[in-house]
Structure 1
Amino acid sequence: MTQFFSMPAVTTPLVWICQSNNGQNLTPFVVDRKLLPFVDCACQGLGDGMEEDVAGLCIFAGSVREMFNASSFSKSFPVYRERTGALTLVTHTPEHLGQAQAVAGTVTRSSSSMPPSHGARIVATVLDDAELRADWTAELDDMRKRIALMRQILRQKLEDRQVAQDLAFLTDQKRMFSYTGFTEKQVETLRADFGIYTARDGRIDAAGLSEANLDAATEGFAAVMRI
């Protein structure tokens, strides 16, 4: 946040708004410095719910003059290999919207020209059909609850192992990923000794946890947390 609030005027920060108060806190600074925010909305529905996850984003979009919002359906549908999403442009005049759409079209054509539409058609089919959309929403809710449950169980199992490290990050953080704070040495130990693979910065995918591997994950995490 320190880096964000020291950002020079008329620049484009990449923003991830997780909660409604994030949007309220950032808005005055963005407006004052005339920033053009680019918001990353990658995991809608996997935090607290479809509407809850964008509450802060809606506040933000209603307060700033202009912004980009990139929505991804890779994780929420999932159609990860199809690279399916949407770019929403918010401008303060219709004229600016037309100009921005023209530039966005040029950039899109230069980067991907005519990409496959399989993923986009899947998403459109589901969202345009009330029954399919209800089924998808229910399944997404189940997935969100399962991820939260896996986080809770992993934390309890590590606490039962009397791990001294603060484990609040497991349940305080939401959605698919968690930053563990593991060092590169701990990450290498997990990989070499326990066959557990994480990102090099210690980020784990909580969606990959299951009843079948929780005990193994607990054993490995507990061991490296004592290094």
Structure 2
Amino acid sequence: MLENLTAQPADKILALVAKFKADPRSDKVDLGVGVYKDATGNTPVMRAVKEAERRILADQSTKAYTGLAGDPAFGAVMKDLVLGDSVLSERVAAIATPGGTGAIRQALELIRIAAPKATVWLSNPTWPNHPSIIKYLGMKMAEYRYFDSETRGVDFDGMMADLQNVAPGDVVLLHGCCHNPTGANLTYGQMEQVIGLMQNKSAVPFVDIAYQGFGDGLADDAKATRQIASSFENCLIAASCSKNFGIYRERTGILMAVTKDADQQALTQQNLAFLNRQNYSFPPDHGARVVTTILQDPELRADWEAELEETRNGMLDLRQQLADELKRLTNSDRFDFLAHHRGMFSRLGTTPEMVEKLRADHGIYMVGDSRMNIAGLNAQTVPVLAKAIVAAGI
């Protein structure tokens, strides 16, 4: 049997990690892996997470299963965090999942059951796992233009033109905030136009929100998602707790499905539980319990929000520092987009050949499409990167 296997495509980011580790240069800079790092290069455990875990360890009396959908309390706090009061909770079905990736996989599985002929539309570019999972599931897929390599902003005209080809019942995947891999976001006015087009086309929105709190703050980062959820009878939302709670290895995510009414909610909830049962039975609980503990306790929540703000402002400071340094070196404002982007990532909009030149000549590691992790920088490495970008002729 196993002799029939064929090699699968290598993960480009993991391959980049291996190259970085093997590089003997002491001044190398890792901007590839999409993990938050502080100024020392560490991914810290947040204060509120440590305290929540201490309480859980002291008080937890069982490791029994919580249910196919996960702990209902986790669903309740995440609905509030992501959706606020934009949608009645009675209209929202939800399941806990192994990370945001698990939520995306379960959402696509649900689409395949409910609308097997639907095409899933993705931004070009998007997070590589989106098309990878869709292709693996054998689903129909199409792209809409999103990133303008000249302006390093959103190609909104191209996006709207491509979405004119959406058919009734098709699914349009949108990034809730902090677009990965570009860092370029739609304005609220632009999102309103996208919503109007999708309503006219009878399309179904699917929101991936993995970085809430990393862009403009918890409430502002959720605004577009709430805008979308309140505008449609049906909407899918995959949310991750990996970044904003810093619990990457706990694999904590949630899939929410906005439904038309209570009857549709009950049916959808049953189908979501069925999908969890087929894929992994019961979802992991520890990370979800940590998140629930924090969000239910006013003091822990306040401390978490304060530390999250420190993290967010730190990335904004790095963005501004890099944009300012490049302006100083080039006497040009062509890199100002770096300060305008949001979240962990920005896309330089250069060629794979230039990216390789940065790696070979300067020890700067970023993904081949020129996506770089701003959180991989610190005050000392920002000038190093700026000089390398200028020296490479980007």
Instruction: Answer whether TM exceeds 0.5 for this pair.
Output: yes
Contact 2:259 2:265 in 1 (8 A): yes
Aligned residues, how many?
A: 226
In structure 2, the partner of 1:160 is 328
Cα offset, 1:158, TM superposition: 1.1
TM-score, normalisation: structure 1: 0.93
**Cα-to-partner distance string for 1:138-170 (whole Å, 9 max, x where unaligned):** 111111111111011111111111165711220
TM-score, normalisation: structure 2: 0.55
Contact 1:22 1:56 in 2 (8 A): no
Contact 1:21 1:56 in 2 (8 A): no
1:63 is aligned, of 231, 248, 251, to 231
CA shift in 2, pair 1:121/1:22, >3 Å: farther
**In structure 1, what is the Cα distance between the partners aligned to 2:388 and 2:279?**
42
Q: Secondary structure at the match of 2:238?
A: strand
Cα offset, 1:113, TM superposition: 2.4
Q: Secondary structure at the match of 1:68?
A: strand
Q: Secondary structure at the match of 1:51?
A: helix
**In structure 1, what is the Cα distance between the partners aligned to 2:190 and 2:209?**
14
**In structure 2, what is the Cα distance between the partners aligned to 1:40 and 1:116?**
20
Q: Secondary structure at the match of 2:208?
A: strand
In structure 1, the partner of 2:261 is 93
Could you list the runs of 5+ residues in structure 2 that have no partner in the other structure? 1-158, 178-186
CA shift in 2, pair 1:163/1:5, >3 Å: farther
In structure 2, the partner of 1:12 is 171
**In structure 2, what is the Cα distance between the partners aligned to 1:157 and 1:74?**
31
In structure 2, the partner of 1:73 is 241
**Cα-to-partner distance string for 1:27-58 (whole Å, 9 max, x where unaligned):** 22222222121111111111111111111221
Higher RCO (CA < 8 A, seq sep 6+): 2
2:352 is aligned, of 141, 163, 184, to 184
1:114 is aligned, of 254, 261, 282, to 282
Cα offset, 1:203, TM superposition: 0.4
Q: Secondary structure at the match of 1:181?
A: coil
2:379 aligned with 1:211, yes or no?
A: yes
In structure 2, the partner of 1:220 is 388
In structure 1, the partner of 2:362 is 194
Runs of 4+ that moved beyond 6 A:
none
**Cα-to-partner distance string for 1:48-95 (whole Å, 9 max, x where unaligned):** 111111112212211111101111111111112222121111111111
* 1:122-161 matched pairs, under 5 angstroms: 122-161=290-329
Cα offset, 1:12, TM superposition: 1.1
In structure 1, the partner of 2:154 is none
**Cα-to-partner distance string for 1:177-204 (whole Å, 9 max, x where unaligned):** 1111121011111111211111111001
Partner amino acid, structure 2, of 1:5: Q
**In structure 1, what is the Cα distance between the partners aligned to 2:318 and 2:222?**
24
**Cα-to-partner distance string for 1:98-153 (whole Å, 9 max, x where unaligned):** 11112222222223323432211221111111101000101111111111110111
1:26 is aligned, of 191, 194, 200, to 194
**In structure 2, what is the Cα distance between the partners aligned to 1:162 and 1:24?**
37
CA shift in 2, pair 1:164/1:126, >3 Å: same
Identical columns (%)? 35
Could you list the runs of 5+ residues in structure 1 that have no partner in the other structure? none
Partner amino acid, structure 2, of 1:202: S
